[in-house]
Amino acid sequence: MRAGLASLDVLESQQLGPRAMELGETFRAKLRNELAPFEMVKEVRGMGLLSGIEFVAPKKLSLRMPFEAFHRIHPAMFGQILVMRMFREKNILTQIWRQQLHGAESGAALVVKEEQLDEFVAAIRSVCGAGAHFSGFLERSLRPGSRAANV
């Protein structure tokens, strides 16, 4: 009980709830701005520091075909590859968006620093940039799995 009350005191005294709402809006605005060039990004939405990025099949045929191939292999494969690359290449842990298999979500801690959110934005932009070109994206992403399959 004491720990719960102490946590509530910290939330209130440091205004972590209002801070999360404000910082989350800024974070999503940065995500929208940085991911706008990628036609596979449908929407960025969320509340507070919980944010999600929804992906759709691109209109350009050269991009749509690999995206659809990922979907045929498994509906969540594209999202999982993005999540995997964020972790492996950028040391950032995120997950597939529960309601949207073609999406990724991030739930930052209430005490996150704005610089850390900026680092996430730069990382997801870089990974989405690799996915938008698809040249070797699947092969590089699946390389560890293919090594495991050969064991």
Query: Has residue 35 got a pLDDT over 50?
Result: yes
β-pairing verdict for 41-47 and 50-55? antiparallel
Predicted confidence band of residue 28 (pLDDT cuts 50, 70, 90): very high
- When comparing pLDDT for 146 and 18, which is higher? 18
User: Taking the domains of the chain in order of start, what are their residue ranges?
Assistant: 2-149
Query: Which CATH architecture is the domain 2-149 placed in?
Result: Alpha-Beta Complex (3.90)
| Gap between the Cα atoms of 71 and 145, Å rounded | 18
Predicted confidence band of residue 144 (pLDDT cuts 50, 70, 90): low
pLDDT at 39: 85
Q: How many residues does the chain have?
A: 151
CA dihedral 142, 143, 147, 149 (to 10 degrees): 20
Q: What is the mean pLDDT of residues 43-71?
A: 86
pLDDT in tens, 62-86: 778 887 887 888 878 888 888 888 9
What is the pTM (predicted TM-score) of this model? 0.79
- Integer angstrom CA distances of residue 117 from 7, 37, 104, 136: 23, 20, 15, 28
| Gap between the Cα atoms of 69 and 86, Å rounded | 21
Q: What angle do CA 49, 54, 58 make, to 5 degrees?
A: 150
